Structure 1
Amino acid sequence: MKQEKSFFARLAQAYRDDWNPNTPSGPTPERRGYPGPLDSPPFPSSDYSIGGTPIIGAPDTQTYPLMEAINHNRSRTKIYGWFNVGFNVSTSNRGVGANSPAAYYYTPNTITADQQVLYIERLPNTVQTEHFDWGFRIAQLYGQDYRYTTSKGVLSQQLLQKNNPRGYDPVMYYIDLYFPHVAKGMNIRMGRYISLPDIEAQLAPNNYTYSHSLLYTVDPYTQTGIVASIKFSNHWLVQLGFSDGNDVAPWTSDAQPTGTACVDFTWRKGGDALYTCANSFNNGKYAYNNIQSFFETWYHKINATWHTDTETWYMYERDVPNIAGNVDNPITPEIGANGAFCKPGQLRCYAPEFAVVNYLEKQFSKTKYLSIRNEFVNDIRGQRTGFATKYTEHLVSYGHWIGSTVLFRPELRLEHSYNAKAYDNGTKTTQFIVAGDVTYHF
């Protein structure tokens, strides 16, 4: 009788097989709907990004070295994660936070343990249409990037009171309930989840590049609530949600009833998609990240190796305290929530901002790709970035995979602020960064 290898021997073998594949891939799993427009790897997903739901009709095809060592990837409940470490060399040099509003490498000229993440999850089977199914995810994050995911009231003293350089955040905890007989399938997600729109996401493997656009850096990150995603056809998906607001726990004083409504329209056999989202709307009055946010994202597959993603948004808060120093008896902004540079004499004001970002992606092979990012941001009252100015940002990045478990992403980034010195702790208008990260999956 052949003796079973030890856990660590199976784990080592899983990495050897991933880095040196010598067996042909099996048949393509059954899928309901249009085929995924992209290859993954090298890209983060084979489908365009839609938040708040698994892709209805897409199978779970992921395998992980840790699960191979545990049970040969036989179970639907999976434990996996990654270690993500990066570096940056910047023209900014005035200490902690001097790269801001660039993210996530906000401190210049450092090597950073960005995020170490552990997932425990079960995905519902949304390919089948016969019976109810369910899933869940618990995601734990530790590292510098906790400062971008923190929700007020959920261990937020690490950031808001102590400003720790590294911290822990249970960034997601939710359940999925899948009902196949509602339209072409409906998924209901309940718990704390990533806010629905955006090309980008907080978790390192879900992005084309190491760094994030300015647009993504200053918009909402997570919500705690419920969202229903209903697939009416291969063309139409509608999402309706209700939460306690952006980046706040339900038990905090900043929580308030907040709506979400999104529509995804897909055409050209999955090659094009328009994702329209009112991500968070309520009375809009100033509170911790109570930003009113409206998004339009267009995904377009140009040909077999080129595609482009474009996103634009408009956001605002009402009654934001004036921090411009031109008003008597000023109101002190809430900790962790910026004030605004209002007109002279105003105690509070309306603080809007808008932005547009474009990604142009080129696939060279299953392991190599190029990313080009360009964006424009106008933080009209400085409420999101801390400076009332327009910005442009330009980036070139290269992604290189070893198997499907190790990803290296070097990049060059140039950005400029036009109406204020927003970089290097308020001393420079232009910033250039050379950076890169490594993500090691387990």
Structure 2
Amino acid sequence: MRSVIGAARAREGAGNNSLGETVKIAFLACVALAAFGLIDAAQAGDAGRGACAYGGDPYKNYNCLEPYLGSDFLSRFINYYRLEWGHDVAPADPKLPPGRRDYWPATPQTLPPMPFTEWPYGGSTNLGVTRPNSVDSPLMVAMANTPFGHWLDDMHIQVYGWLDPGGNLSTNTVRGGNAPAAYSYNPNNVQLDQAVLYIERLPDTVQKDHIDWGFRIAPIYGENYRYTTAFGLWSYQLLNQNKNNGYDMPMAYGEVFIPWVMEGLNIRFGRYISIPDIEAQLAPNNYMYSHSMTYTFDNYTNTGIEATLAATKNWILQAGFSAGTESLPWHVGARIANPFPSALYPMQTMPKDPGAVPSFTLGVRWSSDDGNDNINLVANAINGGLWGYNNLQWYGGTYYHKFNDQWHISIESYNEHQNNVPNLLNASALAIIANGGTPFSPQYMPFNAPGGAICKSAAVLSCTAEFQTALMYLNYKATPLDNISYRAEFVDDYQGQRTGTKTRYIETGIGWQHWFSPQIEVRPEVSYYKSLDAFAFNGNPNLGIPANRNYAIIGAADIIIHF
């Protein structure tokens, strides 16, 4: 999510929610819920005919799987949902090779009910624990006995994804008024959060006898595009039109795994999720439906190359070279006309995006042998730090600790900053912005442009803007299909550049993640937000509506249907 500078906007922009679009989204959510109910009913009906409709239980005898599924695509697709209903894992093929190296740190979590099995670090396929064709997918099962399915299996390519409709009830009432809370931009709304398709090949990082390769292409459509947008890649939807729903490609990368370099070296190139956050843009990778403010205002994606080296079974080192954050290589060196030369940009031209510059990332990760403890320390996309589209100089880390099989804690803290951010208290800086003298003036970026700063003094033209966070998730595995997460965080937007308001925030929430099977999950939650120093909620800078509340209570829920 981006904060906004400049004058009030006369309208929210083309493509925003109309009544018709809202009805369509609500209808989609109802269809998803109806599908869930039909599957439940079908499974209940089968109970009277035995454990499996066609005889035999694949969970007891894996050889029963094909007879149970049937032969045509639709039967196999539906029957696989029915088969997994009420289970926390897929039926296990006894012929599969081990899914991890036997001397590797122990796997700390299970999925479900957690959103991951390995403590997240990003920028790489998980080393030492990844096999090709390892994603449990009803779509892949449905296609498995077709010529196309055989070809995909031979090439170790999988095609899968999910639909994620959701909604919220909020004390906010203004369109866009839930911000700076994220992933439910509009209050009191039902929406399609994301529809995602993965086309991928996972490299085999367990073996150590041959070079392997992989890739992922991951288009996304829905409301959540506004949080993944990179300047220069279909960004007109957010920055010129402020559409409610849009499309993006947060991941499009290839990778090569070289097993002979120490314990394995993976090289990823393309656009990928930045490291090392607890959370990610993709819905199934998160404890809760909403996201922390810590995640909302940090680095989302980098485009470049990331090398991940398992130096030992316990130590992983990462180094990357990118074109900044949420910026594209074709903006590096690009310039536009400057109609209002000033002390900020004195030449007749100025960079199209000052943040699109060569940047480096360094990270180190340690895991204990028992898998109970994990630390990541990272400097992400570091460069000169000039005010850019999302040119965040990110320094921080994550820590995970597993107390026992039921309880674990996840902690993240970081500091990020940008330099030479125009001072919104300075009349000359405001004139420069208004007259098109910055790359992010309303003439070029009418919606959701990077924010200016509330500097300590009105006398300076610009200043450094900082953002500090501390986040904790405390998680309880109640059953193999249920997880309860409690979130607490503190955020200090020192100059108001990230959220649009110079204030400190506290936020706390609790969410329940319930899985009906490995393919269908629901995530109800409630969160409380408080801005301590100024009003920050129930406003919309795009509409010129100032915030008029210093708190927000948001109840929300979504359903994720994997395919």
TM-score (norm 1): 0.96
1:10 and 1:187 map into 2 onto residues whose CA distance is 35
2:105 paired residue number: 34
2:46 paired residue number: none
Within the candidate set 278, 288, 297, 1:218 is matched to 297
Amino acid at match of 2:160: Y
Within the candidate set 403, 420, 427, 1:302 is matched to 403
1:79 and 1:220 map into 2 onto residues whose CA distance is 27
1:23 and 1:129 map into 2 onto residues whose CA distance is 27
1:261 paired residue number: 362
Mark the CA change 1:5 to 1:329 in structure 2 (over 3 Å): closer, same or farther. closer
Q: Secondary structure of the equivalent of 2:306?
A: strand
Within the candidate set 126, 140, 146, 1:67 is matched to 140
Q: Are 1:341 and 2:448 matched, yes or no?
A: no
Mark the CA change 1:428 to 1:26 in structure 2 (over 3 Å): closer, same or farther. same
1:167 paired residue number: 246
1:385 paired residue number: 499
Mark the CA change 1:34 to 1:23 in structure 2 (over 3 Å): closer, same or farther. closer
Mark the CA change 1:141 to 1:329 in structure 2 (over 3 Å): closer, same or farther. closer
Q: Secondary structure of the equivalent of 2:421?
A: strand
Structure 2 residues not aligned, in runs of 5+: 1-66, 335-352, 540-546
Q: Are 1:56 and 2:127 matched, yes or no?
A: yes
Structure 1 residues not aligned, in runs of 5+: none
Q: Secondary structure of the equivalent of 2:140?
A: helix
1:276 and 1:181 map into 2 onto residues whose CA distance is 25
Higher strand residue share: 1
2:529 paired residue number: 415
Aligned residues of 1:390 and 1:418 also touching (Cα < 8 A): yes
2:177 paired residue number: 98
2:163 paired residue number: 83
Amino acid at match of 2:140: M
Higher helix residue share: 2
Amino acid at match of 2:451: N
CA drift at 1:322: 1.2
Counterparts of residues 194-343 of structure 1 (less than 5 Å):
194-252=273-331, 253=334, 254=353, 255-324=356-425, 327=428, 330-332=431-433, 334=440, 335=445, 336-342=449-455, 343=457
1:328 and 1:116 map into 2 onto residues whose CA distance is 41
1:135 and 1:328 map into 2 onto residues whose CA distance is 48
Amino acid at match of 1:90: S
Identical aligned pairs, as a percentage? 41
CA drift at 1:63: 1.7
1:434 paired residue number: 555
CA drift at 1:87: 0.7
2:512 paired residue number: 398
Q: Which range moved further: 381-390 or 30-39?
A: 30-39
CA drift at 1:265: 1.0
1:277 and 1:13 map into 2 onto residues whose CA distance is 44
TM-score (norm 2): 0.76
Q: Which range moved further: 10-19 or 198-207?
A: 10-19
Aligned residues of 2:70 and 2:76 also touching (Cα < 8 A): no
Mark the CA change 1:62 to 1:322 in structure 2 (over 3 Å): closer, same or farther. same
1:37 and 1:182 map into 2 onto residues whose CA distance is 25
Q: Deviations over 1:370-398 (max 9, x none)?
A: 00000000000001100010000000000
Amino acid at match of 1:374: A
2:330 and 2:468 map into 1 onto residues whose CA distance is 30
Aligned residues of 2:481 and 2:517 also touching (Cα < 8 A): yes
Q: Secondary structure of the equivalent of 1:88?
A: strand
Q: Secondary structure of the equivalent of 1:364?
A: strand
2:81 paired residue number: 15
Amino acid at match of 2:517: G
CA drift at 1:328: 6.2
| Structure exhibiting the larger radius of gyration computed from Cα positions | 2
Q: Deviations over 1:211-262 (max 9, x none)?
A: 0000100111111100000001121000000000100111123210010000
1:424 paired residue number: 538
Q: Are 1:358 and 2:472 matched, yes or no?
A: yes
Mark the CA change 1:329 to 1:416 in structure 2 (over 3 Å): closer, same or farther. closer
1:165 and 1:210 map into 2 onto residues whose CA distance is 18
What is the Cα-based RMSD across aligned positions, in Å? 1.7
CA drift at 1:296: 1.4
2:275 and 2:321 map into 1 onto residues whose CA distance is 12
Q: Are 1:155 and 2:234 matched, yes or no?
A: yes
Within the candidate set 472, 485, 503, 1:371 is matched to 485
Q: Secondary structure of the equivalent of 1:8?
A: helix
